Amino acid sequence: MPSRRLLCAVPRGHAADLAPLFAAYAARRVEVRSWLYGGDVPEEPALGAAAADCDAVLLVGRGERAPGTVLSGPVLATASGRRIPIGWVPVVDRASLARFVSTAVRLHERAHSVPSVALLAQRHPRFLRLTDRIEAILDGGERRRTVFRWTSDALVREDLIRALASGLGSAIYVGHGRPTGWTGYYGLRARHFDGFTGEPLGALIALCCRTASRRRTRLSFAEALPLKGVCGAVFGAVSATLHTDNTRWAVRLSDAYLHGARTLADLVLAALPATARQVAPYRILGDPLCPLRAPARGLRRARAVEVYA
């Protein structure tokens, strides 16, 4: 893996909390540049200038700030026109920040891992057809047993939660979404992951409405999952999205995945649609450099998941 540069902007009082993650980055040949700041989070132009030659940005800040107000999208634009993926982590309390850090460290320490993805969908013909399309792209005409179909016509909510604890590299959900969770799986909420145990998922990509929105909730579904140790990062929307736009995202993400994207930052950058309207709703919540890979034991657990025909 070639060396990379990450700008991490973190409040001065929480620099020590991120130290284990910095060490994990270093072991993966990631050069971390720390920006220790006081007061409110830095504005995007300043972040873009500081990260001009970086490959990603991790922004940690006050939990009162919502993803929709702290960032304008999943990437920063630099003065030279470069686009840099940026992840947001709200500091709700030290315990949840520590869970995020320890989860991200576990993901970066996975050895002998291979790309893997679970396909999740609400039980509705439109979303199941889109899942068929994603699956056809990812299979590439040959079943490699690293793509798992866990749609809600095949698994109920409790089974899905156990399946996601297998430790796969990534998952893609298509369906309806809300600030508090998903409509699929009879209503999936962050509280259903309380006490989550098992191996974390690398990245969860939620191609649906509002899962990163704070509307009428203290913490969005997309923000909560990395803080609960469920995954390293979530790619989710802060507002309503169009199914046609999400279909374009799904196809482009699948192509990028198939052509070797190793981290969420790689995946998002390679899949960015052409129009600002399609990009603007989405944010990265968590570690933008979280790997999309699973160890062999994670694949074995995923293959053992009982799917109902």
The pLDDT tens digits of the residues spanning 173-207 come to 999 999 999 999 999 999 999 999 999 999 999 99
Query: Is 163's pLDDT higher than 90?
Result: yes
pTM above 0.85, yes or no: yes
Asked if 69 and 45 count as a contact pair (C-beta separation under 8 A), the reply is no
- Model confidence pLDDT, tens digit, residues 99-112: 999 999 999 998 67
Residue range 15-40, pLDDT digits in tens: 999 999 999 999 999 999 999 999 99
List residues bridging with 223 in a β-sheet: none
Burial of 191 (0-12, 13-18, 19+ CB in 10 A): exposed
Residues comprising the chain, all counted: 309
Label residue 142 exposed, middle or buried (CB < 10 Å: 0-12, 13-18, 19+).
exposed
Dihedral sign of CA atoms 192, 195, 197, 203 in order = positive
Q: What is the dihedral of CA 236, 238, 240, 244, to 10 degrees?
A: -40
Can you tell me the distance from the alpha carbon of 35 to that of 106, in angstroms, rounded to the nearest whole number?
24
Which string of DSSP letters, residue by residue, matches 41-79? PPPHHHHHHHTTT-SEEEEEEETTS-HHHH-SSSEEE-T
Structure tokens at 182: 């998903």
Residue 141, pLDDT score: 43
Which top CATH class is 112-303?
alpha beta
- Give residue-wise pLDDT tens across range 261-295: 999 999 999 999 989 999 999 999 999 999 999 99
Give strand pairing partners of 83: 77
Which stretches of the chain are DSSP H helices? 19-27, 44-50, 67-70, 94-109, 125-139, 157-164, 184-187, 221-227, 243-258, 264-271, 276-279, 296-303
Average pLDDT, the chain: 95
Domain 4-108 sits in CATH 3.40.50 = yes
At 138, phi and psi to the nearest 5?
-70, -35
Domains 4-108 and 112-303 share a fold: yes
Helix and strand totals (H; E) in the chain: 12, 16
Statement: residue 1 has pLDDT above 60: no
Distances, alpha carbon 297 to alpha carbons 114, 160, 198, 301, in Å? 11, 18, 12, 6
Determine the pLDDT at residue 173. Answer: 98
Domain locations in the chain as residue ranges? 4-108, 112-303
Enter the DSSP assignment of 107.
Answer: H
